Structure 1
Amino acid sequence: MISVTQRRNGLASLAASPVVAFVALLGLCAAYIQGPLAKLFDFQSAIGEMEHFGLHPAALFAVAVIVFELAASAMILSGFLRWLGALALAVFTLLATFVAVRFWEMPSGMERMMATNAFFEHLGLVGAFVIVAITDLTKGAGK
């Protein structure tokens, strides 16, 4: 019979696996990879999105967002200045959430409830990116 300690150690080994860590980071960055790729394949819609949020010149903002999201995701996934990429996406996500998901301005109803959920889910992403940055900055600090 496997003891609780052995199970915990086995789970800790699995959780510490580089493959599991990469898959977790890939999941965290998934929206920041999918979004810019969708914008690349439908650039007119990307321009429309920027215009919708009052960002001008819209094409320049669309290109900047595409490059930024892909570059920051690549930094996180590659480990190259991971902390910087994570903090950059945390700040970007926080600002974009306050610009794009203004649930408090919506009338009561299902749309407001969905926007409220999206707002707080984005705050969760911000927190996760901050944890990634802290972990990267402090790894080995206690050794």
Structure 2
Amino acid sequence: MTEHSLSIIRPGGPLHRFAGSPVARTVALLFLCAAFIQGPLTKLFDFSGAIAEMEHLGLHPAGLFAATVIVFELTASAMVISGFLRWLGALALAAFTLLATFIALRFWELAPGTERMMATNAFFEHLGLAGAFVFVAAIDITKGAGK
């Protein structure tokens, strides 16, 4: 790397300024919460489908679970994005993600093949997502200490 190319990433450089900007932070948090915004909105506009999903997962009463998930995901996402008790919303979404992952993506029960491979990939992607929420909570709790 040249001296010039390194200046882009140094403290005070353009990449550093962008990465630390409120816009970049908000967009990153929106991306992190995207599934927890899209999912409940889809459930809200197709509530019978949401009930069918809960029934498929063996959760009863399905209507109550569907409504609770919708409210929970939207509320926790709003907390993470807005910064209001961000740590709590992030930890709640991490726990929810882990729980939902172990309920919905039991890849070890599937026969070898494409379906199992896709479920395995999704399982581990969800573990990463839960980890990202824990990281957001840790940063919020410490207010970025130890960067």
Q: TM-score normalised to the size of structure 1?
A: 0.95
Task: Determine which of 70, 74, 77 is the counterpart of 2:74.
Answer: 70
Equivalent position of 2:46 in the other structure: 42
Deviation at 1:3, TM superposition (A): 2.7
Whole-angstrom CA distance in 2 between matches of 1:78 and 1:40: 22
* Runs of 4+ with deviation above 4 angstroms: none
Q: Residues 13-61 of structure 1, C-alpha deviation per residue, up to 9 Å, x if partnerless? A: 1100100110000000000000000000000010011111111111000
How do 1:1-143 and structure 2 match up within 5 A? 3-8=4-9, 9-139=13-143, 141=145
Question: In structure 2, the residue corresponding to 1:24 is in which secondary structure?
Answer: helix
- Supply the AA of the counterpart residue of 2:27: V
Deviation at 1:10, TM superposition (A): 2.1
Deviation at 1:107, TM superposition (A): 0.5
RMSD, aligned α-carbons = 1.4
Percentage of pairs with the same residue: 70
Q: How many residues align?
A: 142
- Contact (CA 8 Å) 2:139, 2:145: kept in 1 or not? no
Describe the shift of the 1:72–1:107 C-alpha distance in structure 2 as closer, same or farther (beyond 3 A): same
Question: In structure 2, the residue corresponding to 1:107 is in which secondary structure?
Answer: coil
Q: TM-score normalised to the size of structure 2?
A: 0.92
Describe the shift of the 1:40–1:16 C-alpha distance in structure 2 as closer, same or farther (beyond 3 A): same
Unaligned runs of 5+ in 2: none
Whole-angstrom CA distance in 1 between matches of 2:145 and 2:110: 46
Q: Residues 78-99 of structure 1, C-alpha deviation per residue, up to 9 Å, x if partnerless? A: 0000000000000000010000
Question: In structure 1, the residue corresponding to 2:8 is in which secondary structure?
Answer: helix
Whole-angstrom CA distance in 1 between matches of 2:42 and 2:67: 12
Whole-angstrom CA distance in 2 between matches of 1:6 and 1:96: 44
